[in-house]
Amino acid sequence: MIRISLSLIFLGLLLTGSVNGQSAERIVKQAAKALGGEKALQKVRSRQIQGTIADLQSGGMGSYQASVTQPNLYSTSFDLRGLEHSAGYNGKSGWIRDSRDGLRTLTGNASRDFQAEAMWQNLRWLNYKKEKAKLTFAGQTTINGTHANTVVYTSPKNVKIKAYFDVVSGMLIREEFPAGDQTRTFDYADFRLVDGIKVPHQIHLTTGEQQYQIKIDRVIHNSQIDRSIFDFPKPSNEPLPDIGSLLKDVGQNEDEVERILEKYTYTATQTKREIDSNGQIKEKESEVNELTFYKGYRIRRLVSKNGKPLTPNEEEKETKQIEKRIREIEKKEAERKEKAQDDSSANDGGDNDRRISIAEIFRPSKLINPRRERFRGRNCIVFDFEPLPGYKPQNRNEKLFGKMAGAMWIDEADKQVARLEARLIESYKIAGGLFASLKEGGTFVLEQDRINNEIWLPTHADLDLGIKVFLVKGLNFNLSIAYSDYKRFIVESEKEKLITPTEKTSKPLDNQDL
């Protein structure tokens, strides 16, 4: 009996150890200790790496360097017998340049993935709770003959980065990053102490079908890095329009859009998503709204919720709310005209359903890195933006956009906004923070396109926002909005008729259609 009991206890201890060993939190703590300790890792605010790179297929060799600066600046570059490749994220937009495809700004999944990689390269998992990311254990595997624990880091935007740790030593031996339709894999070896931290001096890099061997010659921590290496490279011999004049044209075109907008109706399908405890993103709820505009204000009519149409009672309630909304708009417009001589008083109240003008977005912003690119087959002028130092915002919209950084694509022919990416780089307080505040790091992406050869309207929007309500409760919103079913009203013999656009194009984004 004693022998059996001792055996059971021993088996229980082994099982308990196995369970604990499979905890993602335990694995990354062990890794931090193996690499030099969490305190030492947290002290690294910047890192520069210099070395050589070899193409294992062609045999070409060249120089390699990479740099990171907190919170999320990141750049890499190498030159292999004339094949140049560089990429960077400057806190506003990600870009890539190579000898084959030239220079371009990253968009879509490639942009989302690279931003997550930039954040990871700076802090890895050390700040994952603050970032509202998830760490999950994904089993054990063998990496180059080494038994390894797999941990998956899932960002709030559902980017999944895989990290593999030596079961025995706890060392980080592999990282896998999604890169659009490819995967980029870093295998690490030859760890050496640099400033009390173990740093790999041999890296095997796999990108798609390409394989490279990197040897690190020098690692520098906490030096002052020139921020220009993260910025979008300046193209040479490429004339650009005057940005001020371009934005003025965009603003004038917005006035024309405002005139035409009330002739259109379209559908917005909004899907709320959340990341569960296993790092999986799931659809939580959805609703479909029909959008129309009246005197520049958006009017929503709920059509269905979670795939179910409204009941007759719910439809009647929607109709009454719309009638009430129109009366409110009439009253607001009358008040606005009375206060027209006091712009700040007229504007500061704001309205969440009134279109935001391009002027409101960029009055509090500094515009940098202008360049010409192709986007969805059309020529666009692209530039980054960041808060303008010293600017005093005049209304709530300017206060909000004055805390954002990102990039904007403007269609060069139509002088309309084709794409906007923005990130909140400072928390934004509503009612002084007593009511609510938007947390730093919130992002949104908006796109729009030409409809019916006369108007640009929204096609897609993604929002990822953290909100703190009444100084206590924290909420996270991860929304995807798809726009469709564009229809235009025309007048025939004093009767309104609804028609569907005959020309199907990809649909676009409105500066504020959230």
pLDDT of residue 248: 86
What value does the mean pLDDT take over residues 100-107?
84
E runs forming strands in 102-169 = 102-105, 134-143, 146-154, 160-166
Q: In percent, how much of the chain has pLDDT > 70?
A: 82
Phi-psi sector, 37: left (phi>0), alpha (psi -120 to 50), beta: left
pTM of the complete model beyond 0.85? no
pLDDT of residue 140: 95
Answer with the residue of higher pLDDT: 188 or 246.
Answer: 188
pLDDT of residue 11: 37
Q: Is the pLDDT of residue 373 over 50?
A: yes
- Cα–Cα distance measured from residue 190 to residue 198, given in angstroms and rounded to the nearest whole number: 9
Write the DSSP assignment of 253-269 as a string of letters: HHHHHHHHHTTEEEEEE
Q: Is the pLDDT of residue 234 over 80?
A: no
- Give ∠ CA 357-362-366 in degrees, rounded to 5: 175
Domains of the chain: which residue ranges?
21-229, 243-290+356-499
What value does the mean pLDDT take over residues 3-28?
53
pLDDT of residue 5: 45
Task: Report, in angstroms and rounded to the nearest whole number, the Rg of the chain calculated over CA atoms.
Answer: 27
pLDDT of residue 490: 65
Give the domain 21-229 fold.
Answer: outer membrane lipoprotein receptor (LolB), chain A (2.50.20)
pLDDT of residue 16: 37
pLDDT of residue 404: 92
Average confidence score pLDDT of the chain:
83
State the pLDDT confidence band at 438, using cuts at 50, 70 and 90: confident
Q: Comparing 125-129, 280-284, 307-311, 438-442, which segment has the lowest mean pLDDT?
A: 280-284
Q: Judge whether 200 and 35 are in contact, CB under 8 Å.
A: no
pLDDT of residue 144: 93
Look at strands 182-194 and 172-179 and give their pairing. antiparallel
Q: Is the pLDDT of residue 508 over 60?
A: no
Q: Comparing 2-16, 392-406, 454-468, 470-484, which segment has the lowest mean pLDDT?
A: 2-16
Q: Which amino acid is at 407?
A: A
Q: Is the pLDDT of residue 60 over 70?
A: yes
Q: Comparing 31-40, 110-119, 446-455, which segment has the lowest mean pLDDT?
A: 446-455
Long-range contacts of 251-256, Cβ-Cβ distance < 8 Å, separation of 24 or more: 251/357, 251/358, 251/359, 252/415, 253/414, 253/415, 253/416, 254/355, 254/357, 254/358, 254/511
State the pLDDT confidence band at 106, using cuts at 50, 70 and 90: very high
Tokens of 156: 């709030």
CA 282 to chain CA centroid, Å, is: 18
Q: Is the pLDDT of residue 376 over 90?
A: no
Instruction: Let me know how long the chain is.
Output: 514
Q: Which residues pair with 297 in a beta bridge?
A: 294, 354
